Amino acid sequence: MEFADAVRARHSYRGFTSRQVDGKTLKQVFELASWAPSNCNVQPWHVHVLSGDACDRMREKMKAAASAEVAFNPDFPWQGKFSGDYKERQICSALGLWEHQGVTRDNPAKRAWSWMRNFEFFDAPHIAFIFVTDEFPELVRLAGDVGMYAQTLMLAMTDAGIGSCPQTSVSCYPDLVREELGIDSHYKLMMGLSFGYIDEADSANNLRTERDSLEKTTSFHS
């Protein structure tokens, strides 16, 4: 795939088939992602990839917690509250998704279903969890490194014909994830990434988001 095509073909996909990505391809995309840059090349990411039964067990635990409305306990604060232009973009993004999922704003049950899709991993046969350790004092810069890694990973997946959805939502139950993986609380969960082959029949996958113009976001100086 041409680079620009891969960038434009990556979208957040929210509906997957049960077909698993084979082990060789999995290793190829995660190896490619490891070439992402990071501050001083510290490569702070610790990545766990769950497939098959491991993914299903995690999904069932997350669904049970979310259905029982177990309180979120994210390792990194998350409120999802924005203002001004940012709020407008957030609303636009939610309304766009709901439209493609057949959800209306005045239907709380359908809105709850849309939110619950996160904890079902959108039916994906795989989920990756990206952790960092608690020894980094400069959290904001660390998050930048993880972002570099995550986008490189998603582009590598796009190039391999694999769809993905980055998710803050699933990072709100870090204890469940650590328990399932058998890792200690020294590892902090930054985000999840559901991935697999996209379900073409799922209308949620037809969502295409907009971007502001270059004039609004970027100044060139000479």
Ligand X SMILES: Cc1cc2nc3c(=O)[nH]c(=O)nc-3n(C[C@H](O)[C@H](O)[C@H](O)COP(=O)(O)O)c2cc1C
Q: Which spans of this chain sit near ligand X (rule: CB under 6 A)?
A: 11-12, 14, 93, 118, 165-169, 191, 209
Smallest distance, ligand X to C-beta of residue 93, A? 4
Q: CB-wise, 8 or 27, nearer to ligand X? A: 8
Q: Which residue is nearest to ligand X (CB)?
A: 169
Q: Which is nearer to ligand X, 27 or 105 (CB)?
A: 105
Q: Which H, E and C letters describe the chain, residue by residue?
A: CCHHHHHHHCCECCCECCCCCCHHHHHHHHHHHCCCCCHHHCCCCEEEEEEHHHHHHHHHHHHHHHHCCCCCCCCCCCCCCCCHHHHHHHHHHHHHHHHHHCCCCCCHHHHHHHHHHHHCHHHCCEEEEEEEECCCCCHHHHHHHHHHHHHHHHHHHHHCCCEEEEECHHHHCHHHHHHHHCCCCCEEEEEEEEEECECCCCHHHHCCCCCCCHHHHCCCCC
Shortest gap between Cβ of 115 and ligand X (angstroms)?
9
Report the residue number, 1 or 27, with the smaller CB distance to ligand X. 1
CB of 222 to ligand X, least distance (A): 30
- Shortest distance, CB of residue 23 to ligand X, whole angstroms? 26
